[in-house]
Amino acid sequence: MSVMGDGVRTFLRGIGQTLITLGVVVLLFCVYELEITNIYTGKQQHALAQDLKDAWAAPTPAPSPVRPGTVAPAAPVAVPLGQGLAVLRIPRLGRSYAKVVLEGVGVPDLKRGPGHYPGTALPGAVGNVVVSGHRTTYGAPFADLDRLVPGDAVVLETRDSWFTYRMTGVQIVAPTAIEVTYAVPGNPTATPTQRLLTLTTCNPKYSAKQRLVVRARLESRLAKAPGVVPPALTED
């Protein structure tokens, strides 16, 4: 009986040590997911913000020569992948909330911050500006997106303009619901006439089972000038 009892105690001790080890591993994984990734994204956002500041301070490139009989091209469709495009501000999420939106929504892109879907409208343009971001880990830029209510301001700052959008509604959709990214949401063949903004993120938190989609419509454009900011950023 003594030998059997020792064996049981050894077995239980081994199980306990294994569970403790697994608990430590899980704890370390959580620390990595919730803290280390945030530190990484914070550094990336700082670098993107500095690059954007330098780019905006540089002289505007001269337009390319246009051949006789041709029409001058419009502004570039998008900046290069991985490059900063705009600064996103959402007053509902705090006065200090400011995230650099970069071009691209690949896994490496979204680790650096919210990403603009290539091919969707640029800030202020007719169509649908689509921006996606993490809700947990990697800075969780859209962690509290569910706090927004209709009428809330969402501001995009570009090189020369402030674009103020107002939230119009929210949806919960499947991850495969790509129709939310169309120029006319839900209609791939319609010609856009409105200037829309769509923010997407995972739903619920800590799950990729669904997508939370926040919709907004352009309210105003304000040309940038020293000391000039849109009213939405100074409202109490």
Q: Provide the residue range defining the domain that includes 52.
A: 1-58+81-236
In a domain, 66, yes or no: no
33 lies in a domain?
yes
* 72 within some domain: no
**What is the chain's pLDDT, residue by residue, as a tens digit (236 residues)?**
565 666 666 655 656 555 444 443 334 444 455 689 999 999 999 999 999 999 999 887 655 554 554 444 444 446 999 999 999 999 999 999 999 999 999 999 999 999 999 999 999 999 999 999 999 999 999 999 999 999 999 999 999 999 999 999 999 999 999 999 999 999 999 999 999 999 999 999 989 899 999 999 999 999 999 999 999 999 87
- 169: domain CATH number is 2.40.260.10
Residue 67 lies in a domain: no
76: in domain: no
Residues 6 or more apart whose Cβ sits within 8 Å of residue 147: 92, 93
Number of domains making up the chain: 1
The answer to the question of residue 74 being in a domain is: no
- Kindly state the greatest CA–CA separation across the chain: 102
